Chains A and B, each alone.
Chain A
Amino acid sequence: MIPAQFDYERPASLAEACQALAEDDEAKVLAGGQSLLPLLRLRLAYPTKLVDVGRLDELKGVHDRGDHVFIGAMATHDEVLRAPAVASGCPLVAMATAHVADPAIRHRGTFGGSLAHADPAGDLPAVVLALDGVLVARSAQGEREIPAADFFVDYLESSLAQGEILAGVRIPKPGEGWGFHYEKFHRTAQAWAIVGVAAAVRRSNGAITEARLGLTNMGATPLRAHATEAALRGVELGDAVRQACEQAADGTSPPSDLHAQPDYRRHLARVLTHRAVRTAAGSP
């Protein structure tokens, strides 16, 4: 398809980019374009202007900052996958990123774009939510920190204000004893998740001491499986884990589409959460 006409701007600095956005209510940020351009081509979006932030060094790179890893918004999926800081400091991010689309798209699409797009079917929002990431936004007014729990507002809607640019994400490093797994259920290798489960599980002496679970595509936003998280606390590995995971779909409102109806998605959430927790806990 063919997009409608728009202006294109490539500012030289983050400050200029903020300025360009502040000037035009209908302007949109362009990152890797892997979600935005399809919308333009299908004429589902008609921005007046695209502000291309893809080459801003201030938004790039993955940094080890002691107690957290800072992932620049414009780090591509491929860069995230290869970053040693991610592998050691937040391996769950790498596990999920490996499931995003295909290599070509991973070389263009960005970590920040995936979060700012706020697609509940994207693999990374549930991961950042599960890991209690903190999103850092910049605007002409300055910098703002948004906890992941407050960032995802609705379907394709984040709490970024018009004129705000996501600069990067702080992912706290886990302490001792944590294991991770991302379980993605999809019909073809390059397809979006029908349901996905991001699991971070802490173990001690054969029991689970803490679990953080993010659900992909189980509602209008990524969700935490709070009931299962609570039920898993202090539970021995084994049948009790399965029982706790029976609550994984509680409080969700999964979508209905050609790939799955809600009851099937709820069922999948339970099965996949169990698999993800078991694998994260190191008991296949």
Chain B
Amino acid sequence: MTVQEVGQPRKRKEDARLLTGRTQWTDNLTRPGLLHVMFLRSPMAHARIASVDVSAARGMPGVVAAFSGQDFAAEQGSLPCAWPVTEDIVIPDHPPMAVDEVRYVGEAVACVVATDRYRAADALDAIEVDYEPLPAVVDMNEALASDSAKVHEAGNKAFSVTITSGDIEAAFRDAPVVIDRTYVQQRLIPSAMEPRAVMADTDGESFTVWSSTQIPHVLRVMLAVVTGIPEHRIRVIAPDVGGGFGSKLQVTAEEVLCLLLARKLGKPVKWGESRSEGNLTVHHGRDQIQHVRLAADSDGRVRGLQVGLLADMGAYLMLVTPGIPMLGAQMFNAIYKMDAYEFGCTGVFTTKMPTDAYRGAGRPEATFAIERVMDELAAELGMDPIEVRRRNWIRHEEFPYTTISGLTYDSGNYEAATEKALALFGYDKLRAEQADRRDRGDPVQLGIGVSTFTEMCGLAPSRMLGEANYGAGGWEHASVRMLPTGKVEVITGTSPHGQGHVTSWSQIVSDALGVPFDDITVLHGDTAIAHKGMDTYGSRSLVIGGVAVVKACDKVREKARRLAAHLMECSPDDLDFAAGAFTVRGTEQSRTIQELAYAAFTAHDLPEGVEARLDSDATFDPDNYSFPHGTHLCAVEVDTETGMVKIRSYVAVDDVGTVVNPLIVEGQVQGGIAQGIAQALFEEAVYDAEGNLLTTTMADYLLPSAADLPNFTLDRTETPATSNPLGVKGVGEAGTIASTPAVVNAIVDALRPYGIHDIRMPCTPERVWRALEGVRR
């Protein structure tokens, strides 16, 4: 037991079960008498519903019930928005099933409940809906024009915010260099491996909801609030969940409606989506137009930054829709020092699927804009992009550092990460090759892109969430129980869906209690077992939930110490704890923690005031965010004849603080980089002018696979966070945040000699070719 578990590349405890199919996906679960739900979805982006006739469907074989929005109107409530970012924000009523009006293609207008899915699907065809078309509102700029059709009565503006710090006018007045750019963060569709599914059942009094969700605890509270069913009569279970990326950080229409159907019918019901249904109705991500202005001195020093965002909310505000662009509000200034900063954001309603959290949530957008603009500054000054960054970033001896946007970065070392990345990448050699290809007029040009990013992780200090008007706290909870035989049961309020919490938490507990890794089990994702929690998103689980586990272990150890002192007739202060045993200092006398667990269980001889249990729980609420950072470098080859971009090499040096499990960290970074590259090169949700989603299948919405990506070279620096006792910073989103600008910077770098300064994402071969055609003419 002398080996420290934290830091070991432990293979994941979860994997044998997951890989051999011994899984519990929601859509594989069943109940006696289970009925199947299918939703009829609006084919119109915007229309008044004149009538819905489900009577023919009710008569179809196998059909148990069919309902329209009218049938739910009295009980369905409104889907919640927990983050009203301003006082005067417009939060429209959001019925889980549309009653009078539909506002995006895919909105549910009716449902069928049948004895199997096939019959339910057949019966959908028999439902008649009479729509009176209203104009679609697809483009944000047009939506804000005074003559635009309205998505909601109150207009198309959800909210507007401006935040200023420093004298922005002075920063731009007489600035030798001003860079002015507009970037488009295209709309993305989160594509978790497991599509969403919900099952609901009732015993006549209480309800159980199984859902493929990231947030069983939040969901339970919200289902109670929305439906009026008392909270103590709702149990939510998130069984195995196959990925989320933010898309399952939501209270969905389908969850509410399945619960209401179980109540209406008194029977278990289940719904599972198809991939194309998911593309339409899983909340989407990104979708911003970013206007960025940066003022600098002629030596490259940044004076000020002005950001104006239009953020597409889609048709409604869902759980944290308006908060997503606001999560970027303090991140555009990134790792750079400057005199002044202004951030403005307008949330815009359109007749499209609502947007909400998607891996990185607001921070990838911010990072993209600043990292692109720093490259533009370098180009304008004829300076190396690394050098421009060096002249502006916070130096390692300056931490803790309070940025212009008001965050205090506790720790970091941008110099170290960058030096390491440059060496691994072979930066100078690649620059030489680039120059050579340019000289030769090679049809395949080389481009080099950098991104020196940071992010705010560990969402979040409850006090700060309160200041941001968020409707909940950001703490996390854990319980640790020693069982009579000396094994350990950990209950976490986080809700893993692919991150490997069971493994990492076991490593943490093993060190804290001196118990073997294999003797520890971790329970989660069921509100009847893990009764308290704030769930998993925003790279928060280890940073907050992991620390809660440590705190609970500390309490267990202290209880054990008192018991040990009593049994060995000494003072608790005379005991040393090491390798899972308390030893009376200077003697051979000791008790293992397993022996103490048994002694607590038999309770034959407990000291005064010690209960018959060796367990404890704890909540942790940090007093600051954590700030992972890193330097990513990407080299691309651009075929100037076809426009095809190929990633030639990719180096990432990340600083995520203390590493609990290097394998898991590497997995998160690998997947994250892939997802960020996907935004740069492949993915885009496209709506036509009538508001139809054109990318409903994977033939149109392109997800890259391993075959489309190079091997990434990964390394780390470790600058422990000072805001939590583990020194961890979070790694769930780092790769995604960093990689998108690194790739686009590389592409633009390859094309700059042609006079090209931007390619809109995704940088498809056709877009690259058209840009080249534009300048060749």
**Chain A residues with a Cβ under 8 A of chain B:** 1-5, 41-42, 185, 187-192, 194, 257-261, 264, 267-268, 271-272
Are the C-beta atoms of B642 and A268 separated by less than 8 Å? Answer: yes
Contact for B704 among A188, A192, A194, A259, CB less than 8 A: A188
Are the C-beta atoms of A192 and B122 separated by less than 8 Å? Answer: no
In Å, the complex CA distance between A5 and B122 comes to 8
The 6 closest A-B pairs by CB, nearest first: A189-B707, A2-B121, A1-B274, A264-B766, A188-B708, A271-B641
Are the C-beta atoms of B118 and A188 separated by less than 8 Å? Answer: no
Not counting A185-B765, A191-B702, a sample of 11 additional A-B residue pairs whose C-beta atoms are within 8 angstroms of each other reads A1-B277, A5-B122, A185-B644, A187-B682, A187-B765, A188-B702, A188-B707, A259-B766, A264-B770, A268-B642, A271-B642
> Is B578 an interface residue, CB under 8 A from the partner?
no
**Chain B residues with a Cβ under 8 A of chain A:** 38, 117-118, 121-122, 274, 276-277, 641-642, 644, 681-682, 686, 694-695, 697, 699-700, 702-705, 707-708, 764-766, 769-770
Are the C-beta atoms of A4 and B122 separated by less than 8 Å? Answer: yes
In Å, the complex CA distance between A272 and B118 comes to 45
Are the C-beta atoms of B766 and A188 separated by less than 8 Å? Answer: no
Q: What are 15 A-B residue pairs whose CB atoms fall within 8 Å in the complex? A: A1-B274, A2-B117, A4-B121, A185-B765, A187-B682, A187-B702, A188-B682, A188-B702, A188-B705, A188-B707, A189-B705, A190-B705, A264-B766, A264-B769, A271-B641
Are the C-beta atoms of B766 and A1 separated by less than 8 Å? Answer: no
Are the C-beta atoms of A2 and B118 separated by less than 8 Å? Answer: yes
B708 cross-chain contacts in A, Cβ below 8 A: 188-189
Residue of B nearest to A38 (CB): B697
Residue of A nearest to B116 (CB): A2
Residue of B nearest to A187 (CB): B702
Residue of A nearest to B704 (CB): A188
In Å, the complex CA distance between A189 and B644 comes to 13
Residue of B nearest to A264 (CB): B766
Are the C-beta atoms of A258 and B642 separated by less than 8 Å? Answer: no
In Å, the complex CA distance between A257 and B688 comes to 12
In Å, the complex CA distance between A188 and B677 comes to 12
In Å, the complex CA distance between A5 and B118 comes to 8
A4 cross-chain contacts in B, Cβ below 8 A: 121-122
In Å, the complex CA distance between A4 and B770 comes to 43
In Å, the complex CA distance between A68 and B606 comes to 91
B682 cross-chain contacts in A, Cβ below 8 A: 187-188
Given A190-B707, A268-B642, A271-B641: A42 and B122 within 8 A (CB)? no
Residue of B nearest to A261 (CB): B766
In Å, the complex CA distance between A258 and B765 comes to 12
Given A258-B686, A264-B770: A191 and B703 within 8 A (CB)? no
A3 cross-chain contacts in B, Cβ below 8 A: 118
Q: Shortest distance in angstroms between B270's beta carbon and chain A's nearest beta carbon? A: 14
Contact for B276 among A42, A187, A191, A259, CB less than 8 A: A42
Are the C-beta atoms of A259 and B764 separated by less than 8 Å? Answer: yes
In Å, the complex CA distance between A5 and B121 comes to 10
Q: Shortest distance in angstroms between A275's beta carbon and chain B's nearest beta carbon? A: 9
Residue of B nearest to A185 (CB): B642
Residue of A nearest to B707 (CB): A189
Given A4-B122, A185-B642, A191-B699: A267 and B769 within 8 A (CB)? yes
B644 cross-chain contacts in A, Cβ below 8 A: 185
Residue of A nearest to B769 (CB): A264
In Å, the complex CA distance between A260 and B642 comes to 12
B274 cross-chain contacts in A, Cβ below 8 A: 1-2, 41
Given A2-B117, A42-B276, A192-B699: A187 and B764 within 8 A (CB)? yes
Q: Shortest distance in angstroms between A62's beta carbon and chain B's nearest beta carbon? A: 27
Contact for A258 among B118, B641, B700, CB less than 8 A: B700
A194 cross-chain contacts in B, Cβ below 8 A: 765
Q: Shortest distance in angstroms between A280's beta carbon and chain B's nearest beta carbon? A: 18
Given A259-B764, A264-B766: A188 and B122 within 8 A (CB)? no
A271 cross-chain contacts in B, Cβ below 8 A: 641-642
B700 cross-chain contacts in A, Cβ below 8 A: 257-258
